[in-house]
């Protein structure tokens, strides 16, 4: 049971990091589009 919990935590943290990076990419591209427009 404990090992499953660790796997879930690892998956959640990787997904969380993915969303943070995705959000940063969106905001930076939005800024780029704003400066280009």
Q: Ramachandran region of residue 11, left (φ > 0), alpha (ψ -120 to 50) or beta?
A: alpha
The alpha carbons of the chain give a radius of gyration, in whole angstroms, of: 16
Is the model's pTM score more than 0.85?
no
Q: What is the mean pLDDT of each run of 10 residues along the chain (37 residues)?
A: 77 84 85 76
What was the pLDDT predicted at 37? 64
- Residue 1 pLDDT: 62
In which element (H, E) is residue 13 found? helix 2-36
pLDDT at 8: 79
The pLDDT of residue 13 is: 83
Domain limits, the chain: 1-32
b or e along 8-32 (b: 16 or more beta carbons within 10 Å of the residue's beta carbon)? eeeeeeeeeeeeeeeeeeeeeeeee
């Amino acid at each position: 049971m404990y090992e499953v919990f660790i796997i879930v935590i690892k998956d959640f943290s990787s997904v969380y990091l993915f969303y943070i990076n995705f959000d940063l990419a969106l905001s930076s591209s939005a800024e780029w589009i704003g400066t280009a427009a």
